[in-house]
Every structure is written in structure tokens, then in C-alpha cells.
Structure 1
């Protein structure tokens, strides 16, 4: 999987490794853990990407209409600017903000983020309807049957599914945000180690920090000068998930989100 990843990077893939929080609520208990970036997890991810590329090539070679996924080429900062930033989450955060949303269509699209000229998601037909559509088309062709969806029908389905999926992503983000704030409210007495990722509005001292133990990113307004990559000690002084409000006390004063 490492060799495969290196090959994709040589093709222009963009590598971003930000900590990912897993938020689970069971009954009245909230747990937040940082997903481990293990070798096995990387291998599974790389094999899923490879499967998507193979499915995409099959569709391209046989002129099949599939739910191809692509991503426009990002306009990244000059390398000398990136190298000034601390390696790790700070630099990856700067790269991530330059990435565009992925796109879907019935013809092959280059996926700049993955470094692939053709790609379609096909490994999760149980949870993604577009993966199931991909299976329907390819399996019918392998059997020698007529594919179930014409290009026009598939394009319409992709549009509907894409809109629905985007709404689901927004709801998931809002849900995770709610339970993140509620978790921090319940742990108001704890001290959190934070990493300054980037400025949102530097003239207003408004920045984005990473709570490293939780893998959560929070917007904070500072009361003192802070530099990218600075490590901070924050403590929650007020949190209301219903109002989507949280405040942190920092050694030099009060920081508000």
C-alpha cells in the first residue's frame, strides 16, 4: 500500500493527514476518540482507492456510463510558503483549505486529490447509493446484459443523490458539532492541549485550533498574539450546544468561539 500511495503522489495526488475524531453517543454517554492512522487502516484505504480506479478504467474502456467522481486541480500555495509552516496538522490544514469539493458525472473525470485520471467509488454499496449504481452497471455488462441505466437516467440519479448526500453531510457535521460542544461542556473542568492551525480573520484575532486529544477543531478568538503552530492550554468556561456557543479560558485571558 505504501508503494501504491507513493505512485499516486508521483501522479500529483495531495496527501492530507489530519486527525479524525470518532464521536459516539450511546444513551446518555458521549465518547470521542481519535481514529488511529494505523498501517492496516492506510492499507484498507489504499485498496479501496485502487478498486475505484479499476472500476473507473473498466467503465472507460467499455464506454459505460458510471458515477465517475473527480476533483478539480487545487491552487496550492507556493512550496516555499508551505515549507515555512510547521509540518503536520498546521501545514495540512493550509493545504486542505485549497481543496475543492469533488464532482460527479457519467464520464471519466480526473481526481486531482487522489492523483487519478479516472475514479468511481464502488466499495460501499451498502451505505452509498452511487456505489450500488456502479455495481448495477458493471455487473450487467459482465453478464452480457443491457445495462439498467441509460446515460440520461444515470445523470439524473447522480444529481438527485448528490444533493441528498450533500444535505446528509451537512446534517452529520451539525450533529457532530452539537455533541462535541456538549462533550466539552460536560468536561468543563478538564484542560485541553491545543495546536494553533491557521487564522480565519487575523485582524480580529480569530483562529482555528486543534484539540489534540480529541481531534476536534474549534474556532477561537484570542486575547494575545499567537503564531501558527503555537501550542496552547485551553479550558472550557462556557458551552451551550443549543446555541452553538463555546468559550475557552487561556493562560493570557479569555478566548471565545
Structure 2
């Protein structure tokens, strides 16, 4: 290397200013560096005075390429043939032809002349790119003038992927100068009329499938079943329920809790079981239900869907203190009558439901004496029909609902006790007792404030108490068609009583860990989806008015509960409003994409 040489340094031109142990170079812009000889490549010996000499020169590129087809030229030959001379300026221009045109590629040391086939292919690709860019610019002009065409749909995939959180980039948002967030993408799609309010992005954002399991169910010779069809059994659910997986009956002093025998069709490690483990639970959102087991499982096993239903039945008796005394577990056939909670509530003063109600009420008293916490906060059932009209129905506090809840807790308590006594590994549900100085009062503000004292429940193969339920031991077992831990418990108990191998503790722990890795996303997607459709309901009913109850403060604002919507909202503090005081409100601003709603108080003149 010599002073004045034009060299290439990191794809940029540089001029050698001195040569010693290291080589001094100056870059365009005046920055100097000391480099090793292997860090640079010679373009022209020069001398090169300054970078102003490297002016763009017109050359015969295509003609030169045609003459060089099949050759292996060096930089000097390439420069001379295309630009008619070899100077620092033309050497630099020749280098710029490499990998930046369709005719030449390679490096300074090895220049490759593209074949005619490669040039033709590259030419077509370049033309297609130019056409695509022209189409894009025309689309953006239509977009900004709100005159998009039906055929523009493909351009919006970019925006939809961002709204669904499948992409971190959006060309459209960049062009519009908007922040690249899923919320902005959603908002833009709504503004442009590409999406309407009925599109709920949340399951997709949490990467949850909107198709129910299609795994193959296991069919095998059934074990012998006990005939319990002589008992009047009742499956009691919310109106519109489509997956009845529990029922109750009574026979003298023995109460029976019947559970859909899901382990019959989804035994451990079957295709259906493995798919259910990956899903964790049914996804319940207002517009649909996505099942962790194939819908065929519910069709075959749902209690009361056929005249006779196969079940896994818990037969329980209690001592005078309402502790579970005798536990009988059997595979059974049952005859089930389906009722809504409202229907059952009217039957609690007569027949079998009266007797069941009396037993579950005593059991509830026992739990409460053990410290069980019963928080009563607004709940609502939300449904979006096939026309995307939203219905919100507050869930009333009915005695029949309490009866069913306690019957299911009996079964969960019995499942845990039976597993402990027989050394069967199952996922126990545990929860420390809440840090209450005293039990919460029944008013909304007290109930709301008590939530912060409740500790999180967890699952473990080590049996411990469940303080929130007031139970010594508890294992969720009554919803095996829709919740994976319940299916695990049922599989373990079923295999034990039928003499089949059970899972060991490590296998149960592995399954619990898999469930916990996905269950949070299912819960979050359901919560976000419910809020989405509540806001859609308010958009569909802009004149909505309702009551809001003042229950506390948060972030210097007042917290209100809206019972009719089962919503918690923040509003400005009203100094003259006591806790549990109510105001009448109506929506003032609804931002569906950001899941925000601002209510205003209705002030009478």
C-alpha cells in the first residue's frame, strides 16, 4: 500500500494517507483511522487527492456485461470496458456495480459476471418489485383519502397481523406515522371499516386456537358399571349451558355427586389427553366455546344429554360434624334431569332437592365455621349471538347455585381424602387462609376491599388445606370435560378403582406444570374477551344508563362497581358520596381498541 491509494474499507471508499506498522486512512467526511492491511482492499493505486474526484460517471453497463459473459474480469478490466478508462473515480463506480445491479456480483478479488438467465430472472424480480411499489403507493393514496377498493384487502394483512400481535412491524402504521402497537393497528382497522366491532382479537393475541380439539378419542371395552338410574339425579347449570359435566342425587343419608366419565374416552397419554394438556381448559368467550376435548366427548358423556349417561360417581356420608365419613367411588349409569338454576331454585322446598339442599347447607355452615370466605361481587353472563348482538345478564345469587357449589366442593374434598388415604398422586388445590382481622361485612365496599386479603391458590402434589374454601384438603375433580387438572384427578381415581396403573408423582407434576404454563393465557383471553364484548354492548346501546356503587379509591380516583355490567371502573372522586353510595351513569367515551371506557354521572336538573 502507498500514500494516495484508493481503498475499500467496510464497503466505503477510503484514501491512504500514510503507511507504517499500520496504515493511516481517511474516510469520506474527514474521519481518520489506523488499520491493518488485511482490513482494506485496493481499488486503485491513485494517486487520489480527495473524495470529490469520485464523481458519478456514465458508462455502458449492459453492453459491457454482454461482452464479459463467461469471463472473469478484474476491477481494472471491468472499469475500462464499461467506463472507457481506469481511474480512481471509475474504479469506485465499477465496484458499485457489484451486487447492486443485475449484471455483476462478487467481491473486489472475485468479480462474477451474471449469466443471461440470472439477469433475466433478476430483471423480472426488479420489475415486479417496482410494480409492487407503485401499487403500494397507489394503495396508500387511496387509504389516506378513504377510497380503498375491495382488492386492497391483501394490503391490510400487514395491519391485521399487527392487530393480532403476530407481527411487530406494520408498513401501514409506519406510513401513517402511528406508533406500531396492536392497539393502534386495531384502531386503524376500525377507522377504515376493514374490521367491525364483532372482531375480537384477544384469543389470537394470546395464540389460542379458536377450533375445538379434533384429537382421536379412545374407545375400549367399558368396565362394569353400577346401576344408579333409580335415583333422581339433577344436572343444574346456567341457561344455555351445553356441556353438563356434573349432577347430584341423594339416597337416604348418602349424597351422590356424578361426574361425566371423561377418562373413559381420554385416558392418560391418549391423543385426546395430550391435546387437552396442551390447551389446559375450555376457552369460554361470549361468541363461542372452544373445547379442550373433542366436542364428541361432550356429546357422548354430557350428563342428561341421553336417557342414560355413563358417570363417575362419588357416594358420600357425613358424621354429625359434617366431616366426610364414608367415601364410595364407582363407575355408574345414571338417569339425569337437566335444570336451570332458576328452575331448581323453585324446587328446593320439596322432593330430593329439598334433602340435598339441607345437607349442602349444613356442609356450607361447617366450611364457614372453618374460615371459608364467601365474597359476593357482581357477575354477569355475556353472550354474542350469530348476528354479533350482545346480551349481558347479571347472575343472581340463588340458593340453588350455592347448593350445587357445595355439592361440588364435597366431591373435591372427598377426592382429596380418598387420594391421601390410598396414596394416589393428584394435583391438590391449596390456599393459605386470608389475612382478615374479621370476616368481611356483606356490603359491596367491604366485599371489594376484602379481595386484597385473599392469597393465591396453587396446585401441588403435597396435600395442604384450602383456607379460602374452609376445607382441610381439596382436589378439583368435577369438571373433567372442561378443565385439565380435573381430568387428571378423574384419571387417577378411575384407574385406581378399576385396578389399572396410575401415574406416578413426577408424571402428575409434569402435567400440572404444563397446565400452569397455559392456564394463565386462557384466563387472560377470557377476561379481555369479556371486556371487549361489554364495550361492544355499550356501543350497540349508546343510550345505556345504570347504577354504579362507590366501593373505594385507587390511584386518587374513586372505584365504582356497575352491577348490571359486572364491571369495575375508575371515576373522579365525589367528596359527598359515602362508601356504598350509588350514582346513575352513562357512557361518555368508548375506545374499543384500547379497552377503555369513560362514564359520566347523570345529573338531574
Structure 1 and Structure 2 fold alike (TM over 0.5): yes
* Structure 2 residue runs without a partner (length 5+): 1-359
Superposition map of 1:94-173 within 5 A? 94-147=449-502, 149-173=503-527
**Per-residue CA shift, 1:213-236, capped at 9, x if unaligned?**
23x222222153243211111111
1:12 match: 371
Residue in 2 that maps onto 1:48: 408
Change (3 A) 1:58 1:217: same
Show the counterpart of 2:538.
Answer: 184
How much does 1:20 deviate? 1.0
CA distance in 2, matches of 1:138, 1:170: 31
Deviation at 1:75, TM superposition (A): 1.2
1:197 and 2:548 equivalent? no
Task: Give the number of the structure whose alpha-carbon radius of gyration is greater.
Answer: 2
How far apart, CA to CA, are the structure 2 residues paired with 1:217 and 1:45? Answer: 23
* Distance across 2 between alignment mates of 1:93 and 1:30: 27
1-side partners of 2:573 and 2:421: how far apart?
Answer: 59
Answer whether contact 2:560 2:571 (CA < 8 A) is retained.
no
CA drift at 1:45: 0.8
> Which residue of 557, 570, 593 maps to 1:242?
593
SS at 1:236 equivalent: strand
How far did 1:38 drift?
A: 1.3
CA distance in 2, matches of 1:70, 1:212: 30
**1:237–1:248: 8 Å Cα contact kept in structure 2?**
yes
SS of match in other structure, 1:79: coil
Deviation >4 Å, runs of 4+: none
Cα distance in 2 between the residues matched to 1:140 and 1:223: 58
The question of whether the paired residues in 1 share the 8 Å contact of 2:551 and 2:561 is answered with yes
**Normalising by the residue count of structure 2, what TM-score does the alignment of the two structures yield?**
0.39
1:4-83 equivalences under 5 Å are 4-27=363-386, 28-76=388-436, 78-79=437-438, 82=440
C-alpha separation in 2, matches of 1:224 and 1:17 = 25
Q: Indicate the larger mover: 236-245 or 88-97.
A: 88-97
SS at match of 1:167: helix
Residue of structure 2 in register with 1:88 after alignment: 443
CA distances 1:13-49 after superposition (whole Å, capped 9, x unpaired): 1111222111111122101011122121111111001
Question: Could you tell me whether the CA contact under 8 Å between 1:182 and 1:240 is conserved in 2?
Answer: no
The match for 2:571 is 221
Helix, strand or coil for the counterpart of 1:104? strand
- TM-score normalised per structure 1: 0.89
CA distance in 2, matches of 1:53, 1:65: 15
Q: Identify which of structures 1 and 2 has the higher relative contact order when contacts are C-alpha pairs closer than 8 Å and 6+ apart.
A: 1
Superposed displacement of residue 102, structure 1: 1.1
> May I ask how many residue pairs the two structures share in their alignment?
242
SS in 2 for 1:247: strand
Deviations 1:101-130 (A, max 9, x none): 210011212111001111001011100111
1:210 match: secondary structure: strand
- In the alignment, the residues of structure 1 paired with residue 531 and residue 456 of structure 2 have an alpha-carbon distance, to the nearest angstrom, of 20
Distance 1:97 1:228 in 2: 17
Matched residue, 1:255: none
1:251 Cα offset (Å): 4.2
Residues 113-160 of structure 1 show CA distances to partners (whole Å, capped at 9, x for unaligned) of: 00111100101110011111101111111122321x110111011011
Q: CA deviation at 1:188?
A: 2.2
CA distance in 2, matches of 1:47, 1:178: 33
CA shift for structure 1 position 97: 2.3
Comparing 118-127 and 17-26, the one that deviates more: 17-26
Instruction: Note closer, same or farther for the CA distance 1:163–1:208 as it changes in structure 2 (3 Å cut).
Output: farther
- Decide whether the 8 Å contact of 2:443 with 2:580 is kept in 1: no
Query: How much is the aligned-residue C-alpha RMSD, in angstroms?
Result: 1.6
